Amino acid sequence: MNKIPPRTMERLSMYRRILSELEQKGLHFIYSHQLAELASNTSAQVRRDLMEVNCAGIPRRGYRIPELKEKINEFLKDSEEIRVALVGIGNLGRALLSYFNMRSKRLKIVAAFDSDPEKTGRVISGCRTYHVNDLEDVVRRQKISIGIITVGAGSAQKVADMLVEAGICGVLNFAPVPLKMPKTIHNERIDITTSIEKVAYFSGLNKRVQ
Amino acid sequence: MNKIPPRTMERLSMYRRILSELEQKGLHFIYSHQLAELASNTSAQVRRDLMEVNCAGIPRRGYRIPELKEKINEFLKDSEEIRVALVGIGNLGRALLSYFNMRSKRLKIVAAFDSDPEKTGRVISGCRTYHVNDLEDVVRRQKISIGIITVGAGSAQKVADMLVEAGICGVLNFAPVPLKMPKTIHNERIDITTSIEKVAYFSGLNKRVQ
Protein backbone atom coordinates (compact mmCIF):
# COMPACT_ATOMS: atom_id res chain seq x y z
CA MET A 1 0.00 0.00 0.00
CA ASN A 2 1.31 3.40 -0.97
CA LYS A 3 1.39 5.47 2.21
CA ILE A 4 0.94 9.23 2.36
CA PRO A 5 3.22 11.25 4.69
CA PRO A 6 2.15 11.28 8.40
CA ARG A 7 1.68 15.09 8.44
CA THR A 8 -0.67 15.01 5.45
CA MET A 9 -2.62 12.18 7.08
CA GLU A 10 -2.90 14.23 10.30
CA ARG A 11 -4.15 17.31 8.42
CA LEU A 12 -6.75 15.31 6.48
CA SER A 13 -7.96 13.68 9.68
CA MET A 14 -8.28 17.16 11.20
CA TYR A 15 -10.15 18.61 8.19
CA ARG A 16 -12.56 15.69 8.28
CA ARG A 17 -13.45 16.35 11.90
CA ILE A 18 -13.83 20.09 11.32
CA LEU A 19 -16.09 19.36 8.33
CA SER A 20 -18.23 16.97 10.39
CA GLU A 21 -18.70 19.67 13.01
CA LEU A 22 -19.68 22.27 10.40
CA GLU A 23 -22.09 19.79 8.81
CA GLN A 24 -23.77 19.22 12.16
CA LYS A 25 -24.24 22.98 12.38
CA GLY A 26 -26.12 22.87 9.05
CA LEU A 27 -23.40 24.21 6.73
CA HIS A 28 -23.13 22.82 3.20
CA PHE A 29 -20.24 24.76 1.65
CA ILE A 30 -16.87 26.03 2.81
CA TYR A 31 -14.11 28.14 1.22
CA SER A 32 -10.49 27.00 1.48
CA HIS A 33 -9.59 30.16 3.44
CA GLN A 34 -12.32 29.38 6.02
CA LEU A 35 -11.08 25.81 6.46
CA ALA A 36 -7.52 27.19 6.68
CA GLU A 37 -8.63 29.61 9.40
CA LEU A 38 -10.27 26.80 11.43
CA ALA A 39 -7.26 24.52 10.97
CA SER A 40 -4.73 27.28 11.76
CA ASN A 41 -3.20 26.65 8.37
CA THR A 42 -2.57 28.60 5.15
CA SER A 43 -5.14 28.67 2.33
CA ALA A 44 -2.41 27.50 -0.05
CA GLN A 45 -1.71 24.40 2.08
CA VAL A 46 -5.43 23.58 2.34
CA ARG A 47 -5.86 23.93 -1.45
CA ARG A 48 -2.84 21.67 -2.05
CA ASP A 49 -4.24 19.04 0.35
CA LEU A 50 -7.69 19.15 -1.23
CA MET A 51 -6.23 18.91 -4.72
CA GLU A 52 -4.36 15.84 -3.46
CA VAL A 53 -7.63 14.13 -2.47
CA ASN A 54 -9.01 15.12 -5.86
CA CYS A 55 -11.72 17.52 -4.71
CA ALA A 56 -12.39 20.73 -6.66
CA GLY A 57 -14.25 23.75 -5.34
CA ILE A 58 -17.12 25.53 -7.10
CA PRO A 59 -16.43 29.17 -8.06
CA ARG A 60 -18.02 31.64 -5.61
CA ARG A 61 -19.43 28.82 -3.42
CA GLY A 62 -16.35 26.95 -2.27
CA TYR A 63 -16.18 23.23 -1.54
CA ARG A 64 -19.25 21.05 -0.99
CA ILE A 65 -18.80 19.68 2.56
CA PRO A 66 -20.28 16.16 2.14
CA GLU A 67 -18.32 15.61 -1.08
CA LEU A 68 -15.11 16.80 0.54
CA LYS A 69 -15.60 14.42 3.48
CA GLU A 70 -16.27 11.53 1.13
CA LYS A 71 -13.17 12.33 -0.95
CA ILE A 72 -11.04 12.35 2.20
CA ASN A 73 -12.55 8.99 3.24
CA GLU A 74 -11.73 7.57 -0.19
CA PHE A 75 -8.22 8.94 -0.13
CA LEU A 76 -7.53 7.51 3.31
CA LYS A 77 -9.18 4.26 2.17
CA ASP A 78 -11.18 4.03 5.37
CA SER A 79 -12.74 0.66 5.89
CA GLU A 80 -16.16 0.37 7.42
CA GLU A 81 -15.13 -0.79 10.87
CA ILE A 82 -11.88 -1.27 12.71
CA ARG A 83 -12.05 -3.46 15.78
CA VAL A 84 -10.02 -2.35 18.77
CA ALA A 85 -9.06 -4.00 22.08
CA LEU A 86 -8.24 -2.02 25.21
CA VAL A 87 -5.98 -3.45 27.92
CA GLY A 88 -6.10 -1.92 31.41
CA ILE A 89 -9.50 -0.98 32.85
CA GLY A 90 -8.39 1.78 35.24
CA ASN A 91 -9.61 5.38 35.22
CA LEU A 92 -8.00 6.13 31.87
CA GLY A 93 -9.24 2.89 30.31
CA ARG A 94 -12.82 3.54 31.41
CA ALA A 95 -12.51 7.11 30.20
CA LEU A 96 -11.44 5.99 26.73
CA LEU A 97 -14.22 3.40 26.58
CA SER A 98 -16.88 6.01 27.17
CA TYR A 99 -15.16 8.62 24.98
CA PHE A 100 -14.60 6.38 21.96
CA ASN A 101 -17.65 4.23 21.90
CA MET A 102 -19.90 7.27 22.05
CA ARG A 103 -18.34 9.17 19.17
CA SER A 104 -16.70 6.92 16.65
CA LYS A 105 -18.67 4.73 14.30
CA ARG A 106 -15.60 3.45 12.50
CA LEU A 107 -13.26 2.66 15.37
CA LYS A 108 -14.96 0.40 17.90
CA ILE A 109 -13.48 -0.88 21.14
CA VAL A 110 -15.09 -4.33 21.12
CA ALA A 111 -13.20 -5.92 24.02
CA ALA A 112 -11.46 -4.67 27.17
CA PHE A 113 -9.06 -6.67 29.34
CA ASP A 114 -7.78 -6.54 32.89
CA SER A 115 -6.05 -8.87 35.33
CA ASP A 116 -8.44 -7.93 38.16
CA PRO A 117 -11.36 -10.44 38.25
CA GLU A 118 -13.54 -7.68 39.79
CA LYS A 119 -13.40 -5.79 36.50
CA THR A 120 -13.95 -8.66 34.08
CA GLY A 121 -17.01 -10.53 32.81
CA ARG A 122 -18.95 -7.26 32.67
CA VAL A 123 -20.09 -4.66 30.15
CA ILE A 124 -18.62 -1.14 30.51
CA SER A 125 -19.78 1.61 28.13
CA GLY A 126 -21.15 -1.03 25.80
CA CYS A 127 -17.91 -3.03 25.80
CA ARG A 128 -17.45 -6.61 27.10
CA THR A 129 -14.61 -7.03 29.59
CA TYR A 130 -12.43 -10.15 29.84
CA HIS A 131 -9.58 -11.49 31.93
CA VAL A 132 -6.22 -10.74 30.32
CA ASN A 133 -5.52 -14.50 30.20
CA ASP A 134 -8.19 -14.71 27.48
CA LEU A 135 -6.59 -11.94 25.41
CA GLU A 136 -5.06 -14.01 22.63
CA ASP A 137 -8.19 -16.10 22.18
CA VAL A 138 -10.62 -13.14 22.17
CA VAL A 139 -8.44 -10.97 19.88
CA ARG A 140 -8.24 -13.77 17.28
CA ARG A 141 -11.87 -14.80 17.54
CA GLN A 142 -13.18 -11.23 17.34
CA LYS A 143 -10.81 -10.25 14.51
CA ILE A 144 -9.40 -7.34 16.50
CA SER A 145 -6.63 -5.47 14.71
CA ILE A 146 -5.63 -2.60 17.05
CA GLY A 147 -4.70 -2.56 20.73
CA ILE A 148 -4.89 0.38 23.14
CA ILE A 149 -2.62 -0.02 26.17
CA THR A 150 -3.73 1.73 29.36
CA VAL A 151 -1.87 -0.30 31.98
CA GLY A 152 0.93 1.00 34.21
CA ALA A 153 4.60 1.28 33.24
CA GLY A 154 5.48 -2.06 34.86
CA SER A 155 3.05 -4.17 32.78
CA ALA A 156 3.05 -2.31 29.44
CA GLN A 157 5.77 -4.33 27.68
CA LYS A 158 4.23 -7.64 28.76
CA VAL A 159 0.84 -6.53 27.41
CA ALA A 160 2.44 -5.35 24.15
CA ASP A 161 4.09 -8.77 23.72
CA MET A 162 0.73 -10.50 24.25
CA LEU A 163 -0.97 -8.23 21.69
CA VAL A 164 1.78 -8.90 19.13
CA GLU A 165 1.52 -12.64 19.79
CA ALA A 166 -2.26 -12.42 19.22
CA GLY A 167 -1.68 -10.93 15.76
CA ILE A 168 -2.53 -7.27 16.30
CA CYS A 169 -1.41 -4.80 13.53
CA GLY A 170 -1.04 -1.55 15.49
CA VAL A 171 -0.85 -0.20 19.03
CA LEU A 172 -1.76 3.07 20.73
CA ASN A 173 0.19 3.21 23.99
CA PHE A 174 -0.89 5.43 26.91
CA ALA A 175 1.61 3.90 29.37
CA PRO A 176 4.50 6.20 30.32
CA VAL A 177 7.13 3.94 28.72
CA PRO A 178 8.19 3.35 25.12
CA LEU A 179 7.56 -0.21 23.92
CA LYS A 180 9.74 -2.65 22.01
CA MET A 181 7.80 -4.09 19.11
CA PRO A 182 8.44 -5.63 15.69
CA LYS A 183 8.91 -2.92 13.02
CA THR A 184 5.90 -4.19 11.09
CA ILE A 185 3.58 -3.04 13.88
CA HIS A 186 2.66 0.62 13.94
CA ASN A 187 3.10 2.03 17.41
CA GLU A 188 1.87 5.47 18.57
CA ARG A 189 2.31 6.82 22.07
CA ILE A 190 0.32 9.38 24.07
CA ASP A 191 1.47 10.35 27.54
CA ILE A 192 -1.17 12.62 29.08
CA THR A 193 0.55 13.05 32.44
CA THR A 194 3.91 13.97 30.91
CA SER A 195 2.15 16.46 28.60
CA ILE A 196 0.52 18.30 31.50
CA GLU A 197 3.76 18.14 33.49
CA LYS A 198 5.54 19.67 30.50
CA VAL A 199 2.98 22.49 30.33
CA ALA A 200 3.55 23.15 34.05
CA TYR A 201 7.33 23.00 33.77
CA PHE A 202 7.73 25.08 30.63
CA SER A 203 5.19 27.65 31.84
CA GLY A 204 7.65 28.33 34.67
CA LEU A 205 5.15 27.19 37.32
CA ASN A 206 7.57 24.88 39.13
CA LYS A 207 9.15 27.16 41.68
CA ARG A 208 9.82 25.17 44.81
CA VAL A 209 13.28 25.92 46.08
CA GLN A 210 14.89 23.46 48.49
CA MET B 1 14.48 30.26 35.00
CA ASN B 2 17.02 27.94 33.42
CA LYS B 3 15.08 25.31 31.48
CA ILE B 4 16.24 21.77 30.86
CA PRO B 5 15.70 20.25 27.38
CA PRO B 6 12.16 18.87 26.76
CA ARG B 7 13.44 15.30 26.16
CA THR B 8 15.29 15.24 29.49
CA MET B 9 12.19 16.58 31.22
CA GLU B 10 10.08 13.82 29.60
CA ARG B 11 12.53 11.11 30.67
CA LEU B 12 12.66 12.36 34.26
CA SER B 13 8.86 12.53 34.41
CA MET B 14 8.78 8.92 33.15
CA TYR B 15 11.39 7.70 35.67
CA ARG B 16 9.45 9.34 38.47
CA ARG B 17 6.28 7.47 37.57
CA ILE B 18 8.10 4.16 37.18
CA LEU B 19 9.75 4.70 40.59
CA SER B 20 6.38 5.46 42.22
CA GLU B 21 4.99 2.23 40.81
CA LEU B 22 7.96 0.21 42.10
CA GLU B 23 7.68 1.89 45.49
CA GLN B 24 4.02 0.87 45.72
CA LYS B 25 5.13 -2.70 45.07
CA GLY B 26 7.41 -2.48 48.10
CA LEU B 27 10.78 -2.00 46.36
CA HIS B 28 13.40 0.25 47.96
CA PHE B 29 16.39 0.04 45.60
CA ILE B 30 16.90 -0.08 41.85
CA TYR B 31 19.91 -0.49 39.55
CA SER B 32 20.36 1.84 36.59
CA HIS B 33 20.13 -1.11 34.17
CA GLN B 34 16.76 -2.12 35.68
CA LEU B 35 15.37 1.40 35.34
CA ALA B 36 16.79 1.49 31.79
CA GLU B 37 15.00 -1.78 30.98
CA LEU B 38 11.66 -0.44 32.30
CA ALA B 39 12.10 2.86 30.47
CA SER B 40 13.26 1.20 27.20
CA ASN B 41 16.42 3.21 27.49
CA THR B 42 20.18 2.54 27.78
CA SER B 43 21.88 2.21 31.18
CA ALA B 44 24.34 4.91 30.09
CA GLN B 45 21.50 7.38 29.39
CA VAL B 46 19.84 6.60 32.73
CA ARG B 47 23.12 7.10 34.60
CA ARG B 48 23.71 10.43 32.80
CA ASP B 49 20.19 11.60 33.69
CA LEU B 50 20.57 10.58 37.33
CA MET B 51 23.94 12.25 37.57
CA GLU B 52 22.26 15.36 36.20
CA VAL B 53 19.74 15.36 39.08
CA ASN B 54 22.65 14.82 41.43
CA CYS B 55 21.75 11.36 42.69
CA ALA B 56 24.47 8.76 43.27
CA GLY B 57 23.91 5.02 43.56
CA ILE B 58 25.24 2.79 46.33
CA PRO B 59 27.71 0.08 45.20
CA ARG B 60 26.03 -3.33 44.90
CA ARG B 61 22.61 -1.96 45.96
CA GLY B 62 21.82 0.59 43.27
CA TYR B 63 19.81 3.77 43.79
CA ARG B 64 17.58 4.36 46.79
CA ILE B 65 14.09 4.86 45.26
CA PRO B 66 12.64 7.50 47.66
CA GLU B 67 15.83 9.59 47.41
CA LEU B 68 15.84 9.35 43.63
CA LYS B 69 12.21 10.53 43.46
CA GLU B 70 12.96 13.42 45.77
CA LYS B 71 16.03 14.45 43.73
CA ILE B 72 13.94 14.44 40.55
CA ASN B 73 11.27 16.57 42.29
CA GLU B 74 13.95 19.02 43.38
CA PHE B 75 15.52 19.13 39.95
CA LEU B 76 12.18 19.78 38.24
CA LYS B 77 11.42 22.34 40.98
CA ASP B 78 7.93 20.95 41.42
CA SER B 79 5.72 23.23 43.41
CA GLU B 80 3.24 21.79 45.86
CA GLU B 81 0.11 22.32 43.80
CA ILE B 82 -0.72 23.51 40.33
CA ARG B 83 -4.29 24.60 39.78
CA VAL B 84 -5.86 23.63 36.47
CA ALA B 85 -9.09 24.60 34.68
CA LEU B 86 -10.81 22.36 32.14
CA VAL B 87 -13.03 23.80 29.41
CA GLY B 88 -15.53 21.51 27.66
CA ILE B 89 -17.46 18.99 29.78
CA GLY B 90 -18.12 16.36 27.10
CA ASN B 91 -17.10 12.70 27.25
CA LEU B 92 -13.41 13.52 27.04
CA GLY B 93 -13.67 16.32 29.61
CA ARG B 94 -15.46 14.07 32.12
CA ALA B 95 -12.94 11.34 31.43
CA LEU B 96 -10.03 13.64 32.22
CA LEU B 97 -11.75 14.90 35.38
CA SER B 98 -12.06 11.40 36.78
CA TYR B 99 -8.61 10.33 35.53
CA PHE B 100 -6.67 13.29 36.88
CA ASN B 101 -8.38 14.04 40.11
CA MET B 102 -8.00 10.45 41.23
CA ARG B 103 -4.29 10.08 40.57
CA SER B 104 -2.47 13.37 40.76
CA LYS B 105 -1.85 15.13 44.03
CA ARG B 106 0.14 17.91 42.45
CA LEU B 107 -1.94 18.82 39.41
CA LYS B 108 -5.53 19.51 40.43
CA ILE B 109 -8.40 20.38 38.11
CA VAL B 110 -10.22 22.81 40.41
CA ALA B 111 -12.79 24.22 37.97
CA ALA B 112 -14.52 22.97 34.80
CA PHE B 113 -16.46 25.11 32.32
CA ASP B 114 -19.10 24.55 29.68
CA SER B 115 -21.59 26.68 27.74
CA ASP B 116 -24.43 24.19 28.40
CA PRO B 117 -26.36 25.26 31.55
CA GLU B 118 -27.33 21.61 32.11
CA LYS B 119 -23.69 20.82 32.87
CA THR B 120 -22.85 23.78 35.10
CA GLY B 121 -23.39 24.57 38.77
CA ARG B 122 -22.60 20.97 39.69
CA VAL B 123 -19.75 18.87 41.06
CA ILE B 124 -18.26 16.22 38.73
CA SER B 125 -15.48 13.91 40.03
CA GLY B 126 -14.89 16.35 42.88
CA CYS B 127 -14.67 19.39 40.57
CA ARG B 128 -17.04 22.40 40.56
CA THR B 129 -18.51 23.23 37.15
CA TYR B 130 -19.25 26.78 35.94
CA HIS B 131 -20.73 28.51 32.91
CA VAL B 132 -18.02 29.56 30.46
CA ASN B 133 -19.14 33.19 30.88
CA ASP B 134 -17.66 33.04 34.40
CA LEU B 135 -14.30 31.73 33.16
CA GLU B 136 -12.20 34.87 33.52
CA ASP B 137 -13.57 35.63 36.96
CA VAL B 138 -13.17 32.08 38.34
CA VAL B 139 -9.67 31.59 36.84
CA ARG B 140 -8.45 34.81 38.47
CA ARG B 141 -10.16 34.26 41.80
CA GLN B 142 -9.00 30.65 42.11
CA LYS B 143 -5.44 31.43 40.96
CA ILE B 144 -5.62 28.87 38.16
CA SER B 145 -2.50 28.73 36.00
CA ILE B 146 -3.10 25.98 33.43
CA GLY B 147 -6.02 25.37 31.07
CA ILE B 148 -7.05 22.07 29.48
CA ILE B 149 -9.16 22.52 26.33
CA THR B 150 -11.60 19.71 25.51
CA VAL B 151 -14.11 21.57 23.33
CA GLY B 152 -14.70 20.91 19.60
CA ALA B 153 -12.63 22.33 16.74
CA GLY B 154 -15.04 25.22 16.18
CA SER B 155 -14.79 26.68 19.70
CA ALA B 156 -11.18 25.89 20.63
CA GLN B 157 -9.58 29.18 19.50
CA LYS B 158 -12.27 31.24 21.26
CA VAL B 159 -11.70 29.30 24.48
CA ALA B 160 -7.91 29.71 24.14
CA ASP B 161 -8.36 33.48 23.76
CA MET B 162 -10.50 33.58 26.92
CA LEU B 163 -7.91 31.59 28.89
CA VAL B 164 -5.11 33.88 27.74
CA GLU B 165 -7.20 36.92 28.65
CA ALA B 166 -7.77 35.42 32.11
CA GLY B 167 -4.00 35.22 32.67
CA ILE B 168 -3.32 31.52 32.22
CA CYS B 169 0.38 30.46 31.78
CA GLY B 170 0.05 27.22 29.82
CA VAL B 171 -2.46 25.19 27.83
CA LEU B 172 -2.96 21.51 27.05
CA ASN B 173 -5.16 21.29 23.97
CA PHE B 174 -7.17 18.16 23.11
CA ALA B 175 -9.15 19.86 20.31
CA PRO B 176 -8.21 18.67 16.80
CA VAL B 177 -6.90 22.11 15.76
CA PRO B 178 -3.66 23.95 16.49
CA LEU B 179 -4.18 27.19 18.46
CA LYS B 180 -2.79 30.67 17.96
CA MET B 181 -1.41 31.96 21.25
CA PRO B 182 1.19 34.44 22.53
CA LYS B 183 4.69 32.92 22.52
CA THR B 184 4.96 33.38 26.30
CA ILE B 185 2.28 30.73 26.84
CA HIS B 186 3.37 27.12 26.70
CA ASN B 187 1.03 25.15 24.48
CA GLU B 188 0.94 21.34 24.18
CA ARG B 189 -1.45 19.40 22.01
CA ILE B 190 -2.81 15.85 22.24
CA ASP B 191 -5.11 14.53 19.53
CA ILE B 192 -6.38 11.12 20.61
CA THR B 193 -8.62 10.55 17.60
CA THR B 194 -5.90 11.39 15.07
CA SER B 195 -3.48 9.11 16.93
CA ILE B 196 -5.79 6.12 16.68
CA GLU B 197 -6.61 6.99 13.05
CA LYS B 198 -2.86 7.07 12.36
CA VAL B 199 -2.42 3.65 13.93
CA ALA B 200 -5.22 2.31 11.72
CA TYR B 201 -3.88 3.97 8.57
CA PHE B 202 -0.23 3.08 9.02
CA SER B 203 -1.07 -0.48 10.07
CA GLY B 204 -2.51 -0.88 6.58
CA LEU B 205 -6.02 -1.51 7.92
CA ASN B 206 -7.74 1.00 5.64
CA LYS B 207 -8.61 -1.09 2.64
CA ARG B 208 -11.91 0.16 1.28
CA VAL B 209 -11.73 0.51 -2.47
CA GLN B 210 -14.32 2.70 -4.17
pLDDT tens for B1-56 read: 467 888 898 899 889 989 988 988 899 999 999 999 888 889 999 999 999 888 88
Contact B185, B171 (CB under 8 A): yes
pLDDT class of B176 with cuts at 50, 70, 90: confident
Identify which of A102, A145, A176 has the shortest CB distance to residue B205.
A145
Domains of chain B with CATH codes: 6-76 (1.10.10.10), 82-194 (3.40.50.720)
Chain B residues within an 8 Å CB radius of A209: 77
> Between A and B, how many CB-CB pairs are < 8 A?
237
Global pTM reads: 0.76
Chain A residues within an 8 Å CB radius of B180: 40
Cβ–Cβ below 8 Å for B198 and A207 = no
Query: What is the bridge-based pairing of β-strands A146-149 and A170-173?
Result: parallel
β-sheet bridge partners, residue A147: A85, A171
- State the Cα torsion B36-B38-B40-B42 to the nearest 10°: 10
pLDDT at position A210: 34
pLDDT class of A79 with cuts at 50, 70, 90: low
The 8-class DSSP code of residue A132 comes to G
Q: Which residue has the higher pLDDT, B209 or A162?
A: A162
ipTM of the complex model: 0.77
Mean pLDDT of the region B124-140: 95
Cβ–Cβ below 8 Å for B176 and A18 = yes
Q: Which of B38, B197, B206 to mutate to test the interface with A (most CBs of A within 10 A)?
A: B197
| Separation of alpha carbons A23 and A19, rounded Å | 6
CB atoms within 10 A of CB B118: 8
Q: Which of A1, A30, A77, A196 to mutate to test the interface with B (most CBs of B within 10 A)?
A: A196
| Separation of alpha carbons B204 and A96, rounded Å | 23
Chain B residues within an 8 Å CB radius of A180: 40
- What is the helix, strand, coil percentage profile of chain A, to 5? 45, 20, 35
b/e map of A26-43 (b: 16 or more CB within 10 Å)? eeebbebebbbebbebee
Contact A18, B177 (CB under 8 A): yes
Contact B75, B54 (CB under 8 A): yes
- The shortest C-alpha distance from A162 to chain B (Å) reads 17
